[in-house]
Amino acid sequence: MTKFLLERIQDWYRNNCDGDWEHGFGIKITTVDNPGWSVEIELQDTALEKAEYSKQYDNGDDDWLFIGIKEGKFTGAGDPDKLNEILRIFLEEVLPSQADASYTYSIYVPVPNTKIPVWKEVTARAVNESVFEITQIDETALQNLKVLYIDDYQKIEMENLRELEYKIGDRVKCKLQTFFEGLGPAVTEKVE
């Protein structure tokens, strides 16, 4: 079954939250007095930060749509029946055609066989609104590990952190995890 557009936009938002981005950027969906809908999606510090896109038509009060990207912000407005269309255009036209494949995110993969929960930072690129592809895995060092509590750092046995269940090229889904140092996208599963 195809995911609903609202679930998909939630995935995109969640996958861009990193403990910092969501404090300055986000998504706004409001009504306008024409009547109609207005959607603003801030694209700074995402794979879409360099995107360019424009689409519009005006067939009267009952059938209008204006979409554009300017200064790092996707803006869509449309008549009362166009909210789904605005979200669909963002997810199915803008995201696949405008995402910068070289833009990378820090995500965190769980480290197996540890006495306490430990995650390792890896580099990934967005494949779509809900999937990342791992592009780089650096050597394990204390600086690229995440734990739940500050005392957990003392409990890490570095010699047990050699192998991961993930490799470069793996496609994964994430959820937001609250680490000791703050929020971040933590890998929950591999996808085919």
Please check whether residues 125 and 185 belong to one and the same domain. yes
Question: What pLDDT was estimated at residue 192?
Answer: 86
Question: What pLDDT was estimated at residue 72?
Answer: 96
Question: What pLDDT was estimated at residue 14?
Answer: 96
Token pair 């192998």 in the structure block, residue: 163
pLDDT-wise least confident of 9-13, 105-109, 147-151, 157-161: 157-161
Question: What pLDDT was estimated at residue 3?
Answer: 75
Confidence of residue 1 (pLDDT cuts 50, 70, 90): very low
Please check whether residues 60 and 32 belong to one and the same domain. yes
Question: Is the four-CA dihedral 108, 8, 103, 127 of positive or negative sign?
Answer: positive
Please check whether residues 92 and 45 belong to one and the same domain. yes
Please check whether residues 120 and 44 belong to one and the same domain. no
Average pLDDT of span 80-104: 97
| pLDDT more than 70, % of the chain | 99
Confidence of residue 163 (pLDDT cuts 50, 70, 90): confident
Please check whether residues 127 and 152 belong to one and the same domain. yes
Domain boundary (98, 125, 140) is at 98
Overall domain count for the chain: 2
Find the domain containing 9 and state its range: 5-98
Please check whether residues 55 and 112 belong to one and the same domain. no
Confidence of residue 2 (pLDDT cuts 50, 70, 90): low
Provide the β-strand partners of residue 134. Answer: 124
Q: Distance between CA 187 and CA 176 in Å, rounded?
A: 9
Averaged pLDDT of the chain: 95
Confidence of residue 132 (pLDDT cuts 50, 70, 90): very high
pLDDT in tens, 21-71: 999 999 999 999 999 999 999 999 999 999 999 999 999 999 999 999 999
Please check whether residues 166 and 89 belong to one and the same domain. no
Question: What pLDDT was estimated at residue 169?
Answer: 98
Please check whether residues 48 and 86 belong to one and the same domain. yes
